[in-house]
Structure 1
Amino acid sequence: MTDALSRTYGDGCAIAHALDLVGERWALLVVRELLLGPKRFSDLQAGVPNARPNMLAQRLRDLEGTGLVRRRKLGPPARAQVYELTERGQELEPILLALGDWGRRSPLMSRDARIGTDSLLLALKTHFDPGRWRGAPAVYGVELDDDVFTVRAGDELVIQRGEPADPDATIRADPDNFRAVFVTGQQRELDLTGDEDAVRRLVAAVT
């Protein structure tokens, strides 16, 4: 038994074993923070600010030990160490999106609590309805504070961390306004460049 599985339910059920792997506190939130691409430890801390640094480091070690996360050094000039999901870890994406969809319908969920930028972009994936998408596929740059994402919409919604090469439109907003427009369907002013109709089509497909 690996150190990561030193605590186990001791139950032969596959659901119990899955919880052995990712059921510890903060584990799934670490996975959430890595779904859209690699992050440095400091960026992970920003994404889960209520996790103590030593607890976050332990969860990362646990997830490495179970083969869900790996460390990688970036090449020059950055030379930083980042954490990223393995292929096995990436398989958790539809599970987390389904869990998020289930959670958002809870009457007990706080609607005023802080939500990070990665969570906002994942909420788009949860809400996106391909049946409401109209027109040709579109590529968007989304800039929320210091975070930049590429969003590709069409038959599905694909989101990655990083700047797109040639977006149809770029959306710049603070997280609160972005959440209001794209998650709760409110009217807010956004800083847009490019094809405004493409932005309206995205709003229509997620709200």
Structure 2
Amino acid sequence: MSQHRRARAAIKAVEKMPDLKIIRKKVFPDNRGYFVETYNETEWSEELDFKEVFKQDNHSFSIQGVVRGLHAQPGMGKLVSVISGEIFDVAVDIRPGSATYGQWHGVTLSEVNGDSLWIPNGFAHGFQCLSKEGAHVAYKCTTTYDPRTEFGIDPLDKDIAVKWPMIDGMILSERDKSHKSFAEHSSSHISL
């Protein structure tokens, strides 16, 4: 068995929102670069009790300052990883009745730290690109994209108050700028 097949990952729950998980993967550097196993269904299921089934993989590239999100789709969980660059990744609890409803958690994900963030159904997701060279972000999704049910929350919503690291130089799409506030979504009873 090669050294690379002995790769292991560790899962740690986020303290204030334990349904969010940081997944730390082992990186194998050598004189050629490095190798990292980004996902292993058997190992993660058997050894880490991570039993999610993924239906779609996405890849985005963003330039420095770009904020994508906050996006949510009923039934969709996401495993977010950075291929190159660095992002500030954010999850907002939008589950009515949850003890952390309306609260957010942010974490830095990068090619250097190799961490991933598991965001289950019931959370809105967004990120900001921090690196000058831009960032390639890959995410595995538990359902396929459905434009009929996907929705967005204003990433600058004052009630949620995400502390984006780069306010100066922030770049938002017209679509993300036009998203409703969290309160407007809450009053229309978010369906997850």
What band does the TM-score fall into relative to the shorter chain?
Answer: under 0.3
Q: Give the TM-score taking structure 1 as reference length.
A: 0.25
Structure with the higher strand share, 1 or 2: 2
- Considering fraction of residues, name the structure with more helix: 1
- Larger Cα Rg: Structure 1 or Structure 2? 1
TM-score of the superposed pair, with normalisation by structure 2: 0.27
